[in-house]
Amino acid sequence: KMKTVVLVTGANSGIGLALCERLLSEAAEGLQLCLACRNMQRARAARQSLLASHPSAQVDLLQLDTSSISSVINAAQEVKLKYERLDYLYLNAGIMPNPRFDVKAFFRGLFSSGVTTMFATGGGIITQWDGVTPDGLREVFATNLFGHFLLVRELEPVLCRAGQTSQLIWTSSNNAHRSAFSLEDLQHQKGTQPYSSSKYASDLLSLALNIHYNNQGLYSSVICPGFVMTNLTYGILPTMPAFLWTLLLPIFWLIRVFTNTFTLTPYSGAEALLWLFKQRPETLDPYAKYHSLTSGLGNNYTQPRKMDIDLETAELVYGKLLELESQMRNKLEKKKTTEIQKKSAGSEQPSYLKQNI
């Protein structure tokens, strides 16, 4: 029997790695796991740790930097050569670079009526400073959203197969907020919340993908893992070493009594990702975000909540992404042809010079 092929981006740490671990614990025999990571050394370490607990598991590695157009195209090519089908594509890699924790806003929020919302979404207390990729895109937009969009587009042949369904599952966030997003500034070049913007855009994109691909058997959904202690969150208080976060655990457990979004461990954060793996995609709500939640007593569960998104904006985002996609493809083609021209010019020069001598 053909194995179920599952590809996870950003699988070497945090929530992505925990998902792989949980998938293997559920169904190691029938799975063909592919860890798509930018850093192969960390990817190999992740593979080793998975094989240590599941020695007979099938775990492949794939080099993929979601922030790079050429890397996405090359990785997709490799996938298409290696597998004839892709059943699950977890779009999980994500960054929140140079975060700034606004201590003032945090304390103001702590003593306001919006305190639970603040702990659930991190809204208003963290801003980021974004960079630019070698392709000329904003880093957060490119990594969290655009690279994944391009990956989906490239993998269309293995995702859309007659008589079969496949699932796209985005690791979005509670932090996604309409106010951080602008259609006129899709890459969030102007603001200080590129992370929130990229996650809100992924919520919209998921809806649009459902509209355009459901008839081809491809379904998309978004999850929020809740607040999880990972490399991403350790970066928020960079002066605080990881072990000090562990010391905060008792405080976090207390907060958990008031907000079930404090999943805290990657294992619990992966709850909704695993839950979606087991659902028939036709039964899912394209307007819902599936939340990993943990009760005050420490029980994990998954719950859908309606998102603040609309079809019209989703379609506009989709159109803009298609436009950017073709722009980036043209740019890549141009780069390739000038490289070829340069090369052939370089090899012809010596003989040309000889003739002159």
202 binds ligand LFW5757T (CB under 6 A): no
d(CA 262, CA 185): 31
Residue 39 has which token pair? 């850093």
Among 12, 166, 210, 259, binds ligand NDP (CB under 6 A): 12
d(CA 173, CA 167): 19
Among 6, 69, 86, 94, binds ligand NDP (CB under 6 A): 94
195 is catalytic: yes
165 vs 302, beta carbon nearer ligand NDP: 302
Closest CA to 92 of 45, 143, 158, 128: 143
189 vs 231, beta carbon nearer ligand NDP: 231
Among 88, 181, 213, 227, binds ligand LFW5757T (CB under 6 A): 227
175 binds ligand LFW5757T (CB under 6 A): yes
Among 13, 32, 67, 121, binds ligand LFW5757T (CB under 6 A): 121
Catalytic residue among 195, 213, 267, 290: 195
Which residues, numbered 45-74, are part of the site for ligand NDP (CB under 6 A)? Answer: 64-67
126 binds ligand LFW5757T (CB under 6 A): yes
49 exposure class (CB count in 10 Å sphere: 0-12, 13-18, 19+) = middle
d(CA 235, CA 22): 25
110 vs 311, beta carbon nearer ligand LFW5757T: 110
- Listed in sequence order, the residues at least 6 apart from 94 whose beta carbon sits closer than 8 Å to its beta carbon are 10, 143, 144, 171, 198, 232
CB of 127 to ligand LFW5757T, least distance (A): 11
CB of 17 to ligand NDP, least distance (A): 7
- Listed in sequence order, the residues at least 6 apart from 67 whose beta carbon sits closer than 8 Å to its beta carbon are 38, 133, 135, 137, 139, 142, 143, 147
125 binds ligand LFW5757T (CB under 6 A): yes
- Listed in sequence order, the residues at least 6 apart from 51 whose beta carbon sits closer than 8 Å to its beta carbon are 57, 59
230 binds ligand NDP (CB under 6 A): yes
Which residues, numbered 72-101, are part of the site for ligand LFW5757T (CB under 6 A)? Answer: none
Among 5, 8, 13, 277, binds ligand NDP (CB under 6 A): 13
Closest CA to 22 of 269, 249, 219: 269
By the 8 A CB rule, do 225 and 290 touch?
Answer: no
d(CA 182, CA 200): 10
Phi, then psi, of 340 in degrees rounded to 5: -65, -45
Helix, strand, or coil (residue 119): helix
By the 8 A CB rule, do 81 and 154 touch?
Answer: no
Which residues, numbered 237-266, are part of the site for ligand LFW5757T (CB under 6 A)? Answer: 248, 251
Indicate which of ligand LFW5757T, ligand NDP, none lies near residue 194 (CB less than 5 to 8 Å, by partner kind). none
CB of 302 to ligand LFW5757T, least distance (A): 15
99 binds ligand NDP (CB under 6 A): no
Cα atoms in the Cβ-side hemisphere of radius 13 Å centred on 308: 11
Q: Which residues are catalytic?
A: 195
Residues lying near ligand NDP in the complex (CB under 6 A) are found at 9-10, 12-16, 37-39, 42, 64-67, 92-95, 143, 171, 173, 224-225, 227-228, 230-233
Residues lying near ligand LFW5757T in the complex (CB under 6 A) are found at 119, 121-122, 125-126, 173-175, 227, 233, 236, 248, 251
